[in-house]
Structure 1
Amino acid sequence: MPMSTAEHLHALHEQGFTLLPGVLDAAAVSSLRQLIDQLQPIHWDYCGLVDDHFKCVFNRGPEWLPYLDLPGVIELAEAALGEDCHLIGMTAWRNHPGFIGGDLHVDHLAMELPESLLADPTFALPMQICTAHIYLDDIDADLCPTLVIPGSHRAGRRPRTGETGWRGKSAEAVLCRAGDVLMFRSELWHAGSRNRTTDRTRYLLQVHYGRRMVAQKFSPYLAFHFNPEVLTACTPRQRRLLGDHTAAEYD
């Protein structure tokens, strides 16, 4: 029986991550891979020797809008970050054979806190940013699995140089199927890993959500402007995710 949004939210609080299986079907996976293959680098994007990286792809055209608020994913994002949460980034990747991946890290740590406080089961650390990894391949041990350390969001700090575990726990590979989505909070210790295959490229779409007061990260910042075709095609929820909020204290 599929997990409910409440159960996924509990996992985010307890483990720091949760896997939503079968969010995209095979046809949607194929369509999204084709969209990534059609991308051309602009601004700070690049196509490298072992990986290709495209930022703010939601702004390329209306065809990307459905991935802002995928069923099951958006309900979890709103439950974790508030019903007025918004998008702070959407990045597409192709990781080719030879790709190395990143070291153990956290994406964002709002503040360092004593581990004794975070270990208290009555204390629930509020989430500020969550990332959805939308996998477009069957991920095995050789094809760049995301590595996570369960519960490490309660460390209250970033991993130190050379650190590979926390409280006796080592990083675990998230093995999953094309169409699955990994949601994790920004304080979780996690890492990329190598593409050890000789003939497969990992396709990945990252969708980053933040609370209302977390700034949107739309590069190249002052030069960024919304694609009018995208805005015209948005649903009300998608417009809010792109920043069309009601007035608040700091607006």
Structure 2
Amino acid sequence: MSYTLSYHVHHNHTPDRPVTVQATPEQVQSLVDNGYLVIERLFTGEALERLREAILEVAAQEGHVARSGREWGGVFLRHLMEKHPAFLELFRLEPCLSIARATLGPQVQVLPMTGRIAWPDEQGQATPWHLHQRVVPSPRPAFFCLPHVIDALIYLDDLDEASGPVCVVPGSHRWEDREFPGGPHDDIEGQVALSVPAGSVVMIHGNLWHRGLPTTPQGTIRRLLILPYTHPWIQLPTFGDRPQNGLMRPLFESPDQETRELLGIPEGIY
């Protein structure tokens, strides 16, 4: 199911921007209202296996092994599109890109992709309650621009009670000044534990309260890709160093306006 949004950007000589949204209006509204949207089995078969193998290849090349016994355990891999062609193929990932344009506007930037690997029953691999983009001062200035990022969480393995589901608090992306109650791993009233099959995507607003439950001996390896979208005028995050001669280098030299916009290059935006 899909529908078309017809955007007009009020800027000199800017053409209209139609967007074919690969979701229903109700699904997009659910993301807006609740802060998350589940897309089941976006990747299957060979496409899913290719991503599974690719993240392990990058981890092996960088010398990563299972780590435990600390907060935020597991392995984090940065700038994946620069490091393996399987990830570069997700630069224009539909339907995620179209849903990002439906919620952020027609001009969207694709931020660097991160990967995370967690292993069964390794200690410290649960993630505490956190959010990604809340930098709202109190009191809020009159012209302060709320930060908006839509993260596509791509789960390459089954997410269930054994491997550790992800917990979210619906609607919390709208809370500008609340603090997490209790401890970093305590249950929160209204939380929802999401279990999804391998190859599924959970799209979340970056300010949604969420956490990952711990892995167990009965679970399997848990491989996750995080693909963020934001406005193209937002500053890039500083996680890790972008490889100077990575796979994305030809994209930065492309004359294509949409490509440059997706990279956040100013002349591509305007």
TM-score (norm 2): 0.74
User: Shift of the alpha carbon at 1:208?
Assistant: 1.4
SS at match of 1:140: coil
> Aligned residue pairs: how many?
234
| Per-residue Cα deviation, 1:53-73 (whole angstroms, up to 9, x for no partner) | 211111114332222222111
The question of 1:34 aligning with 2:59 is answered no
Corresponding residue of 2:223: 203
List aligned pairs for 1:86-105, cutoff 5 A. Answer: 86-99=109-122, 100-105=125-130
- Matched residues, percent identical? 23
Q: CA deviation at 1:161?
A: 5.1
CA shift in 2, pair 1:4/1:69, >3 Å: same
In the alignment, structure 1 residue 128 sits paired with structure 2 residue 118: no
Does residue 1:193 correspond to 2:218, yes or no?
A: no
Structure 1 residues 187-224: Cα deviation after superposition (integer angstroms, max 9, x where no partner): 11111110113461011111112212221125445x75
RMSD of Structure 2 on Structure 1 (CA): 3.1
Deviation at 1:160, TM superposition (A): 2.8
Equivalent residue for 1:120?
Answer: none
Show the 5 A alignment for 1:234-245: 236=256, 237-245=258-266
Q: Which residue of 2 aligns with 1:64?
A: 87
**Alpha-carbon distance change, 153 to 70 in structure 1, aligned in 2, over 3 angstroms:** same
| Mapped partners of 1:150, 1:52: distance in 2 | 27
CA distance in 2, matches of 1:11, 1:161: 25
- Amino acid paired to 2:115: A
Q: Report the Cα distance in structure 1 between the residues aligned to 2:195 and 2:230, rounded to whole angstroms.
A: 26
Aligned mates of 1:48, 1:157 — CA distance in 2: 36
Correspondence 1:85-234 to 2 at 5 A: 85-99=108-122, 100-111=125-136, 128-160=148-180, 162=182, 164=186, 168-169=189-190, 171-198=191-218, 200-217=220-237, 219-221=239-241, 224-225=243-244, 227=246, 229-232=247-250
Deviating more after overlay: 34-43 vs 7-16:
34-43
Counterpart residue identity of residue 172, structure 1 = V
1:127 and 1:10 map into 2 onto residues whose CA distance is 19
Judged with a 3 Å threshold, the aligned counterparts in structure 2 of structure 1 residues 35 and 72 are, in CA distance, closer, same or farther, namely same
Change (3 A) 1:113 1:74: farther
- 1:117 counterpart residue number: none
- Gap runs ≥5 in structure 1: 115-124
Cross-structure match for 1:47: 65
Contact 1:58–1:65 (CA under 8 A) maintained in structure 2? yes
Q: Compare 154-163 and 59-68 and name the one that shifted more.
A: 154-163
Matched, 1:6 2:31: no
Greater RCO between the two (CA within 8 Å, min separation 6)?
1
- 1:166-187 deviation per Cα after TM superposition (whole angstroms, max 9, x unaligned): 6x41x22111111110000011
Whether the 8 Å CA contact 1:104–1:159 is kept in 2: the answer is: no
Q: Distance in 2 between matches of 1:66 and 1:7?
A: 28
Amino acid at match of 1:194: P
Gaps of 5+ in 2: 3-21, 69-73, 140-144
Structure 2: distance between partners of 1:41 and 1:91? 16
TM-score for the superposition, normalised by structure 1? 0.79
- The residue type equivalent to 1:9 in the other structure is V
